Structure 1
Amino acid sequence: MAYDMSQFATNRFIKMHPNTVLTHGSTEPVLSILDVRGFALHDLFLIGFNDNCGTLVLPTESRAENAATALEPAYETRVYLFGSRDGEDVWATDYTRRALDGTTLSAFITNLTLKDGCQVIQDGRWVR
């Protein structure tokens, strides 16, 4: 039996949607991508600071793999065992947005210039 995802709804910052879809943060664009790509929106917990990166927590490995497939190639994904709760395994799919050239961008620091004027990150990419 799969883990009951509604047990993640533990605080006021987690938004509940129909079909046991739980979200935390700015995640609506990712839900739209999953929906358009044919991934069934039920029994999932989506955690994201913005639409560039986050984690989908799912009750089974097959759903986690299907979520990764739905997000590729626009996002780099990684599926792994998130942990066990109440004797049931919980799986996760991490995602990070890719640029058009296939590189993974920094989701938080887009530009960084040191005090000496040397720019080390430009447009989310490390400058060499």
Structure 2
Amino acid sequence: MAFDMSKFGGGRWVKTHQNNVHTHGSLEPVLTILDVRGFELRDLFLIGINDNCGSIVLPTRPRAEEAAAALEPAYETRVHLMGRRDGEDVWATDYTRRALDGTTPSAFITDLTLKDGRQVLKDGRWVH
């Protein structure tokens, strides 16, 4: 028996859609990509801040692998056992958007230079 994904619904920051689909963040573009690529939108929890990177939590490994296949090659993906919840395995597909040249740049800010030319972040660390 697979994990019941409806247990992820109902949270303050979680949006519930039809077919037991739950999202945390602004992820409609990812849902659209999955849908257009033929992935059945049901029984999943999509987590992310934006559509550049995140995780899709799914009840079975085959569904996680199907999600990864639907996102490739636009996203770099990784399928893994996320853990166990209520005695059932929970699988995840992590995804990171690829650049046009095929590389996967960091989805987080690592360098920041102000308009006056002063660099305040370098390699993810504050510059003093």
Aligned length: 121
Tell me how far apart the structure 1 counterparts of residues 75 and 110 of structure 2 sit (CA, whole Å).
17
Aligned residue for 1:104, secondary structure, equals coil
Aligned residue for 2:104, secondary structure, equals coil
Aligned position for 1:29: 29
Aligned residue for 1:6, secondary structure, equals helix
Aligned residue for 1:105, secondary structure, equals coil
Deviations 1:55-92, CA, capped at 9 Å, x for gaps: 00000000000000000000000000001011110000
Q: Is the 8 A contact 2:39 2:67 kept in 1?
A: yes
Deviations 1:35-59, CA, capped at 9 Å, x for gaps: 0000000000000111100000000
Please report the TM-score for the alignment, with normalisation by the length of structure 1: 0.86
Shift of 1:113: 4.5
Shift of 1:2: 0.8
Aligned position for 1:18: 18
Question: Are residue 96 (structure 1) and residue 96 (structure 2) matched?
Answer: yes
Shift of 1:120: 5.8
Aligned residue for 2:16, secondary structure, equals strand
Aligned residue for 2:70, secondary structure, equals helix
| Paired AA for residue 46 in structure 1 | L
Mark the runs of 5 or more structure 1 residues left unpaired by the alignment.
122-128
Aligned position for 2:51: 51
Aligned position for 1:124: none
Tell me how far apart the structure 2 counterparts of residues 47 and 17 of structure 1 sit (CA, whole Å).
14
Tell me how far apart the structure 2 counterparts of residues 73 and 11 of structure 1 sit (CA, whole Å).
32
- Identity, % of aligned positions: 73
Deviations 1:5-62, CA, capped at 9 Å, x for gaps: 0001242110000000000001000000000000000000000111100000000000
Tell me how far apart the structure 1 counterparts of residues 110 and 30 of structure 2 sit (CA, whole Å).
20
Mark the runs of 5 or more structure 2 residues left unpaired by the alignment.
124-128
Tell me how far apart the structure 2 counterparts of residues 36 and 7 of structure 1 sit (CA, whole Å).
26
